[in-house]
């Protein structure tokens, strides 16, 4: 594909009613679960698949493997990682519809 080529972007509700999107979703979920299991085997730890138990599991992981290992299994720029480590959670950036990061 040539650089700069314009492609149409289609966004829709219930996109998984399209067979291709549904197949991609199934493959992505399978890969997610496979890698989560592999990471769990590596650290001898059961990582939760959902968001509800993440902070508790993160604290348990840190107590077992140390905070130095957390960047190997977590996104450190996420607010949850700050909570797991007991650090002050940074403020959320202000949302703006004009999509300008540095307003003049």
pLDDT single digits (tens) 36-92: 999 999 999 999 988 889 999 999 999 999 999 999 999 999 999 999 999 999 998
Phi, psi at residue 72, to the nearest 5°?
-80, -20
Is 27 domain-assigned? yes
Is 3 domain-assigned? no
**Does position 100 have pLDDT exceeding 70, yes or no?**
no
Sort residue 10 into left (φ over 0), alpha (ψ -120 to 50) or beta: beta
Q: How far apart are CA 70 and CA 39, in angstroms?
A: 12
Report field, pTM of the whole predicted structure over 0.75:
no
Is 97 domain-assigned? no
Overall domain count for the chain: 1
Is 21 domain-assigned? yes
Of 48, 45, 46, residue with least CA distance to 65: 45
How much is the pLDDT for 87?
96
Token code pair at residue 95: 């949302």
Q: How far apart are CA 104 and CA 98, in angstroms?
A: 12
Q: Which domain holds residue 62?
A: 17-85
């Amino acid at each position: 594909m040539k650089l700069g080529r314009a492609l149409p972007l289609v966004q829709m509700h219930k996109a998984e009613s399209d067979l291709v999107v549904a197949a991609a979703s199934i493959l992505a979920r399978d890969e997610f679960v496979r890698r989560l299991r592999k990471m769990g085997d590596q650290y001898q730890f059961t990582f939760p698949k959902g968001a509800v138990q993440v902070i508790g599991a993160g604290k348990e992981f840190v107590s077992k493997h140390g905070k130095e290992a957390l960047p190997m299994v977590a996104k450190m720029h996420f607010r949850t990682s700050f909570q797991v480590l007991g650090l002050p959670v940074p403020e959320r950036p202000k949302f703006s519809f004009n999509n300008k990061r540095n307003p003049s």
